Amino acid sequence: MISLRSHVISLSAVFLALALGVVLGSTALDGALLSGLSGEKGKLTAEVSNLQAQRDALKTRLAAADAFAGATAPKIVAGTLDKRTVVLITTEDASPADRDALADLVRRAGGAVSGELQLTAAFTDPDRSEQLRRLVTRLQPAGSAFPIAGDTGTLAGALLGSVLLLDRQTARPQATGDELAAAIGGLIDGGFVRASPGLAPGQLALVLTRGQATGDGAGDKAAVLARFATQLRRSGAGAVLAGDPDSAEGTGAIGVVRADTSATALLSTVDDLGTAAGRVTTILALAEQVDGAAGRYGVAGNAQAPLPATGLSGS
């Protein structure tokens, strides 16, 4: 007969053996698992290094292509804006470097910048929309026709278009000097714009922006700028809205324009303004506007081509 003591010893031996087996088995499994993970890590590290090398090579190619575009830009745009005047309008977040580069290209294209106007953050602020609407209506020049019951962006575009753009047929001012001074002065006093000294009307308008609208009412902010630029096009001989790829997406003003077929039929947009090639495209798009054509240019998914057909053909 087996004693209680022998039974306890036997059970203890069994449990000890099981515990030892579990420890030894898990140790072997951990070793195999760690070995496998180490191998995978090595493969992933090699893949990351390969992708980084490809990225660096692409960046080098893009830099070389952009340098070429910058070097040839004066010859490409030469004469495309011969004797044309351009009003430069920028949002508060637009790049000063882009603005200066485009102003230089306008001159190299044979045109002249008649002045610069900066839209402040208040211009697209939904909380100040009604204030801007009332101010614009009050500043309307005598004899000018504004859209009936238009939204804030459209009404602001109608006001600035009437005082800052020349008549498309006669190339003469659509407002008097006093009306121009009153309109710009009123918007400055309201905190909606800043103007360069000697601001004068031009035949064409170039609106520069950057990125997407953010914060509360982001969509409304983008819509105000999009409708403003579209109305400018209706008021003069031509207009282009230019920005970066982000501005062509989501709550970017270019994206809002491109989602509206009635707007894209009138207003040209360029989404790679931060590159030399994009700045050349902007000038070519502005020249194309004079002939009554419009397009969506750049590198974003909703662009129709990198640049206007006239730029591709060299005509």
- pLDDT tens track for 148-174: 878 999 999 999 999 999 999 999 999
Confidence class of residue 22 from pLDDT cuts 50, 70 and 90?
very low
Q: What is the mean pLDDT of residues 39-49?
A: 72
The more confident residue out of 58 and 291 is: 291
Q: For residue 69, what pLDDT is reported? A: 56
pLDDT in tens, 278-287: 999 999 999 9
Q: For residue 65, what pLDDT is reported? A: 56
Dihedral, CA atoms, 118, 210, 288, 143, nearest 10 degrees? -30
Residue 259 has pLDDT above 80, yes or no: yes
Q: Distance between CA 18 and CA 101 in Å, rounded?
A: 78
Q: For residue 315, what pLDDT is reported? A: 43
Q: For residue 51, what pLDDT is reported? A: 63
The more confident residue out of 13 and 70 is: 70
Confidence class of residue 313 from pLDDT cuts 50, 70 and 90?
very low
Q: For residue 67, what pLDDT is reported? A: 59
Which amino acid type is present at position 273?
A: L
For residues 274 and 248, the answer to whether their CB atoms sit within 8 Å is no
Cα→Cα distances 106→47, 110, 115, Å: 46, 7, 12
By CB atoms closer than 10 A (0-12, 13-18, 19+), residue 51 is exposed
* Stated pTM of the model: 0.81
Q: For residue 311, what pLDDT is reported? A: 55
- Listed by start position, the domains of the chain span 1-77, 79-313
Cα→Cα distances 67→71, 72, 276, 277, Å: 6, 9, 7, 9
For residues 282 and 254, the answer to whether their CB atoms sit within 8 Å is no
| Percent above pLDDT 90 for the chain | 70
Q: Where are the alpha helices (DSSP H) in the chain?
A: 4-77, 96-108, 129-138, 152-164, 177-189, 218-235, 253-258, 261-264, 276-290, 309-313
